[in-house]
Structure 1
Amino acid sequence: MEVLQDMSLPKPDVGVQAFHLYNEADPYLRPILSSLNALYAQLYPALLPLLNRAAVFTHDSPALVTVGILLLFLLISVQILAFVKRMLMWWFRMVVRVVFYGLLAVLVAVVWQRGLGRTVEDLVQWGGHLGEVWWREYRRWEGYQNQAAASQMKGTKAGSGWR
C-alpha cells in the first residue's frame, strides 16, 4: 500500500531537488570553494597582465592562433584515430577468439562423431598430402631461384651486365 502512496504523491521539481542536493553538499564543498576563491584572489593580479599580453599578441599575429587551432585539430584527430584503432583491435581479438573456439568446437564434434582413432588417421593423411604439396612447391621455387642464379652467373661470365 505504501508503494501506491509513494507513486501517487507528486514528485518534487528538478530545481527543488538540485537546491536540496546543494544544501546537503554545502558543508563539504565550502572548504574547497573557499580555497579556490583564495587562490583566485592571489593569482588574478599576477595572471591578468600575462593574459592581456597574450591577447594583444594574438591580435597582432593571427597566424599563431591559426597554427594553434590546427595543432588542436591535429591532436583531436590523433585521439579519434587512437580510439578507432582500439575499437578495431577489440573487434579483431573478438573475431580471432570466436574463430579459435569455433574451430575447437568443430574438432570436438568431429572427434565425437568419428572417434579419436579415425580422426587421427584422417589428420595424418591430410598432413601427408599437405607435406607433399609443400615439398613440390618448395622444389619448384628453388628451381626458379637456381635458374635465376645460373643466368646471372652466365651473364657476368660473358661480360654483360652492370659494372
Structure 2
Amino acid sequence: MDIPLQWTLAYLKETLPPDLLTYLDSARTALLHPSSPVHALRAALSRLAAEMVPLLASALDALAALLASSPTVVAAAVLLILAAVVLQILSIVRRILLFWTRLAFRLLFWAAVALLVSAVWQRGLERSARDAAAVGSTVAGWAAGAGEIWWREYEKAKQAQAQAQAYAHGQGQGRGYQYMAGAGAGAGAGRGAGTAWR
C-alpha cells in the first residue's frame, strides 16, 4: 500500500467511531466476497467485452479500410468537424460577451439612477427641479441648433444635386447639338473639297 494511503486509513481509523468502522469493514468484506453482486456484474461485463471485441475490431478495420481508400471523405469530415467546433466556440464567446455587456449596461444604468437619487437627496427637490429645467433648456437649445445646422446642410446638398442634374442635362443637350453641327460642317467641307477636286 502507498504511504499516504496508509496514513489516511490510519487517521480515519483513529477519528471515525468504532461502530462505523465495523460497518465499513463488513461492507468491504461483503463486496469483495466471490459470491457478491459486484463480482457477478464484473464477470458479466468481462464476458460481454470478450464477445464485443471481435465485432468492434472487424467494424473498426472496415472503417479504417474505407477511410484509407477515400482520403477526400476524411478531409471533408475533418473540415466539417473543425467548422462545427469553431462555430460552437464562437457561439460560446458571443454568449459570454452578451452576458458581460448586459451586466455592464445594467450596472451603469443603476449607478446613474443611484447618482441621480443621491443628487436629489443632497440638493433637495426644488433645487434639483430648477437644475433639471436649466439643463433641459440647454440641451433643447443645443438640439435646436444642431437641427438647424443639419437642415441648412441638407438644403445645400439638395440644391447642389439639383444644379448638378441641370448641368448634366444641359451639357448633354449641348453636346448633342455640337455633335450634329460638327457633323454637318464636316459633311459640307467634304462636299466642298470634293467639288474643288473635280
TM-score normalized with structure 1 length: 0.68
Larger CA Rg, structure 1 vs 2: 2
Q: Which residue of 2 aligns with 1:56?
A: 65
CA distance in 1, matches of 2:156, 2:74: 64
Q: Which residue of 2 aligns with 1:16?
A: none
1:65-100 alpha-carbon deviations (Å, 9 max, x no partner): 122112111111111111111111111111111111
Q: Which residue of 1 aligns with 2:121?
A: 112
CA distance in 1, matches of 2:55, 2:17: 57
CA distance in 2, matches of 1:161, 1:48: 85
Unaligned runs of 5+ in 2: 1-11, 22-27, 173-198
Q: How many residues align?
A: 145
| Preserved contact between residue 58 and residue 64 of structure 1 (Cα < 8 Å) | yes
1:129-149 alpha-carbon deviations (Å, 9 max, x no partner): 111111111111111111111
Unaligned runs of 5+ in 1: 13-18
Residues 59-78 of structure 1: pairs in structure 2 closer than 5 A: 59-78=68-87
1:56 CA drift (Å): 2.1
| Preserved contact between residue 155 and residue 161 of structure 1 (Cα < 8 Å) | no
Give the ranges of 4+ consecutive aligned residues of structure 1 lying more than 6 Å apart after TM superposition: 43-50
Q: Which residue of 2 aligns with 1:139?
A: 148
- Which is bigger in relative contact order (C-alpha 8 A, separation at least 6)? 1
TM-score normalized with structure 2 length: 0.57
Cα 1:80–1:52 change in 2 (3 A) is same
Alignment identity in percent?
26
